[in-house]
Each structure stands twice: as C-alpha cells, then as structure tokens.
Amino acid sequence: MPPEPKRDTESLRGSRRSNRRLPRRAAVGRRSFASTLKALDELAASGARISVRINDLDRGTAVLSGDDFVTLPIAGLGIVPLLIELAAAFEDGTLEPLEIIERGSVKPVSVAGVWQHLKAPALPLCDLAVLTAASGDALAANALLARVGLPAVRARIEQLGLARSALLDRVRDVRGPDDAPHFALGSARELAEVFAALVNSQVVSAGVSAQVAEWLSLNHDLSLVASATGLDPFAHENDEHGLLFINKTGRDAGIRVEAGVLAGPRAGVSYALIVCFDDLSITHRLRAHEAFRILGTDLMEYVF
C-alpha cells in the first residue's frame, strides 16, 4: 500500500477516527476546558467574582482567560512579590540569609502558620522564607515584610511591570476601619505571567527565579487546583512521574486563590484562578473549592 500522505497539524486536530497517538501539539489542541467553564459560569451566576488565566508555556499563548485583567483581593498569594524581593536582596548582598529575627519583634498574629507554635524564639531570614512559602505562615511573612520593607516590595512590583498588583499591608487577625481592606491585590493574568517567568528564569535573574521557585515548591496546600495532581503535599519537589509543579494559594473570608505552574510530558501551563464569593455556608465554600478541583482535572488532561 502507498504510504499515508502527510497531514498538517490542523487536520490531525480535526481527525477523530485515528487511534494513533497524536503528536504533542495536536493532542494538546484537542484538550478542552468545558468542565471548568461550566463550573465557573455556575459560580458567576451565584454572584461570585472570578478572574482566570491559563497560559501554554511552550507557545506563550493564552489557553483560557476570563476577566483576567480584573484586580481582586488575593490574600496569601501576596507573599510572592515579597519572596522575590527577599531573594533579590540575598543575591545582591543587601540582606544576609542567616540574619536572625526575633519573634518578639513582630506583632502577634494567629490566622495561620506554625512559628507561633514553635519553641524557637528566633529564626534566620532564610528559614522564615521557607515557613512563609510552605505553610503560609502569617507571623513569618510579617517578620519578612518588616525586615524587607513594604516600600521595597512595592518598588519591586513596579519594576516587574505588575500594574494590577499591590501588597497593601501586613497580615492582620482583624482589619479595622483605619487598616488597608486587604493584604494584597492582583489579577489572574499577572499572577500566571509571574509564575511562568519564575520557571523560565526571567524574574530579576536566573538565581532569584530559582530561589523563589524552590521556596514555592515546598508549599503544603494542595487542596484546591493541585488536588487533582495526586502529589504528596509534604514532598512533591521530585515527582517520579515527571510532573513539574509549583504553586501558591491564598485564603481569606470569601476569597480563594491559586496560581502556579504545572508541566507534564505533553505540555506545560502557568495558571491562576481567583474566586471571591459569599461565604454564607459550607455549601457555598465547597462549591467554590470544587471549581478549583475541576480546573485541576482539566489541567492534568492538558499536560498529560
């Protein structure tokens, strides 16, 4: 029989009869985020504010976007520019990684984290960075912010070109009328771009990018988008199935956020999803969480 004529990528994407494994880009092109869109549409119909962005790392194009330019509160995800500024200060020698910070020098905050439960009254800056990235430790984050300085972080945000992002304040148990209304603000588009830049060694320098990505790879919160990965929350830096993954989540009353990078054998993506909803009952909260998990499932289908 004569050899089968060559077909271009578009024809391969359109063919549904062949049982051969499709080339990488053809297979990726046939992935769908229909389940994610349905879940997000249902959330929006219930009154939630949503910002979502997914970028294909190979092609540098948007796979999915929805109100990705809208600035919304991002809770604990605001520590990412703080960690970037800290790593940059370590690299240029402005700060010493082993500089000791006394816990008593920081105002107590109990919303999240483990340092408040430890016996150690002081820790070095590098260990506080690990606590901040791995467990969302509010006390450690405030200690870093006090040492680095809010003006320096804001200058770094501007230098990175993040026009719709801001770190407004330290973490607080209660926000009064004289306090900033939120810890941090951001948009899904900029969050997805920052995470893509981190894994592509484009944030400040290759060394800074690698350091921040290493810290974020220790994150224990795999309960939202990352729940679909099957990774061990406490040890997922070197996955035996070749899955590259880093992420950071943000949580506050009526706010759930996650951004990260997920890469498998077929493709790699950077993603961000912000959902602000009325946290009126556990049902409302679980509905929001389920949308993140559905996105995680769709992302896994895209990269594998």
Fold of 24-303: Beta-lactamase (3.40.710)
Whether 21 shows a pLDDT value over 50: the answer reads no
pLDDT of residue 275: 98
Q: How large a percentage of the chain has pLDDT more than 90?
A: 84
Comparing CA positions, the residue from 268, 301, 239, 278 lying closest to residue 60 is 268
Whether 6 shows a pLDDT value over 80: the answer reads no
Whether 3 shows a pLDDT value over 60: the answer reads no
69-79 tens-digit pLDDT? 999 999 999 99
pTM of the model: 0.88
How far apart CA 198 and CA 216 sit, in angstroms, is 10
pLDDT band at 242 (very low <50, low <70, confident <90, very high): confident
The 3-class SS string of 22-69 reads CCHHHHHHCCCCHHHHHHHHHHHHCCCEEEEEEEECCCCEEEEEECCC
Task: Quote helix, strand, coil % in the chain, to nearest 5.
Answer: 45, 20, 40
How far apart CA 196 and CA 56 sit, in angstroms, is 9
pLDDT of residue 104: 93
| 118 SS3 class | coil
Whether 15 shows a pLDDT value over 50: the answer reads no
H or E, element range at 236: none
pLDDT of residue 53: 98
pLDDT band at 83 (very low <50, low <70, confident <90, very high): very high
pLDDT of residue 31: 67
157-209 tens-digit pLDDT? 999 999 999 999 999 999 999 999 999 999 999 999 999 999 999 999 999 99
pLDDT of residue 32: 81
pLDDT band at 9 (very low <50, low <70, confident <90, very high): very low
- Supply the mean pLDDT for the chain: 89
120-142 tens-digit pLDDT? 999 999 999 999 999 999 999 99
Q: Do residues 188 and 272 lie in contact, with contact meaning Cβ atoms separated by under 8 Å?
A: yes
pLDDT of residue 112: 84
pLDDT of residue 239: 76
Phi, psi angle pair for 77, to nearest 5°: -65, -15
pLDDT of residue 240: 79
- 11 or 239, greater pLDDT: 239
Whether 146 shows a pLDDT value over 60: the answer reads yes
Phi, psi angle pair for 72, to nearest 5°: -135, 160
CA-CA distances (angstroms) from residue 30 to 17, 114, 157, 268?
Answer: 13, 44, 36, 15
- What letter would DSSP give residue 6? P
